[in-house]
Amino acid sequence: MDYKLKKYAELLLKYSLKIKSKEKLIIKGELATLHMIRVVYKVALELGAFPEIQIIDTRTEEILFRNGNTDQLKYIPEHLVKSVEDADAMLSLLGDTNTSIFDNIDNNKIDLALQGYYSYSKVFTERIRAKKLRWIQAICPTEANAQELKMSYSDYENLIYAASYINLEHPINKWVEIHREQERLIKVLSAKRKIKLSTNNIDLKMGLEGRKWKHCSGQQQMFPGGELSCAPVETSVDGYIEFNQPAFFNGNRIEGVKLRFENGHITEAKADYGQSYLDEFLSIDKGASFVGGISFGTNTSLKHYSLNQTIDEKIAGNLQIILGRSIDHVGGKNKSAGQLKLLTSFSKNSSVYSDGRLIFSNGRFLI
């Protein structure tokens, strides 16, 4: 497994971030990801980079949230802002020590900390948009996340490695191939003006004119990749859809969501479990009841749900509808303070027609 972890680190630095000699690389993650941070650090040195480690200790953050005053909560060390100003690349490792550590923390205190974080996030976002900072988030297997998914650590680790094609002799070659194929697909899809989606529990149509498609092939913000995304014209969504996977709002689970749309707006919203949380989300603002994005999973190495939406949305044949705030960089115009991701399997008896032509059937594109 140490060998596979090194292959994973090499894939992230060589393919996702394209690290070069003498570049400044920030490696950040929670204490639970320290085993992977060390491996990434060593690979970065082998590539001639200048790595900097930033460890996140959530137990210390819990102490701050429980005991800090307003000024302390909003304070952010200047050296953190300076580090992101100077960095060429950043790798954020996603993995938890305790997935419930902030469950009983006052949300107002977390909001204050986020306000203080603004100076950092502003520099971070501006440098990414200016293409001066390369950034990727990657899932790091941890015991806590494995337990959350009711999996053994080794099974969870194998799931992450399979999704990353680490089991292949040359995973970078595979991801280059995936990147090229998804580039081809989005060029074709970007010329489409309308789509109609159908299965036994979906009858939905939407307009795409003037909107862009983007793909995630492990080089744009998230790894592992395998996703095609767009933002439909906000008032064009009409029809009915049911979702067979759970969604989460403010840590609360929602299941069996059923939505009906007319002129883009949700006119009926039901849930088998968590109706109050669904209603709470939809009442955030007007934009919460419109579609902000749609995506198709394309990662064929993922075979099983993990209940980690970051992974499950990539499963080939899965369909994701995002309510609320539009996803970035695809031309979406929906404004909302909230965003709710809803996921369903779209691999059996499924079809997508675009401008009168069948372009997707039973979980795969035909174009």
Per-residue H/E/C for 17-29: CCCCCCCEEEEEE
Q: Check pLDDT > 90 for residue 266.
A: yes
Mean pLDDT (whole number) for 314-340: 86
Of 317, 307, 289, 305, the residue nearest 199 (C-alpha)? 317
> CA neighbours within 13 Å on the CB side: how many for 96?
12
Task: Enter the pTM of the model.
Answer: 0.83
CA distance 360 to 274: 32
Give residues with Cβ within 8 angstroms of 139, minimum separation 6: 93, 94, 95, 160, 223, 224, 308, 310, 311
Cβ atoms 190, 213 nearer than 8 A: yes
CA distance 110 to 116: 10
Mind listing the pLDDT tens digit for each residue in 174-201?
A: 999 999 999 999 999 988 899 999 998 9
- Please identify which residue in the block is written with the tokens 């691999």: 347
Mind listing the pLDDT tens digit for each residue in 56-79?
A: 999 999 999 999 999 999 998 989
CA distance 130 to 120: 16
Q: Check pLDDT > 80 for residue 304.
A: no
Q: Check pLDDT > 80 for residue 306.
A: no
* Prior bond of 141 cis (ω within 30°): no
pLDDT at 106: 83
SS3 246: coil
Q: Check pLDDT > 90 for residue 251.
A: no
Structural tokens at position 141: 């297997």
pLDDT band at 108 (very low <50, low <70, confident <90, very high): confident
Cβ atoms 14, 35 nearer than 8 A: no
Longest dimension (CA), the chain: 61
Structural tokens at position 85: 């100003």
Q: Check pLDDT > 60 for residue 1.
A: no
Of 182, 184, 193, 203, the residue nearest 351 (C-alpha)? 203
Q: Check pLDDT > 80 for residue 328.
A: no
Mean pLDDT (whole number) for 214-238: 89
Write the DSSP string, 40-56.
Answer: HHHHHHHTT-EEEEEEE
CA distance 235 to 193: 14
pLDDT at 5: 93
Mean pLDDT (whole number) for 3-17: 94
CA distance 252 to 319: 21
Give residues with Cβ within 8 angstroms of 352, minimum separation 6: 195, 196, 197, 198, 358, 359, 360, 361
Structural tokens at position 1: 């497994």
Q: Check pLDDT > 90 for residue 242.
A: yes
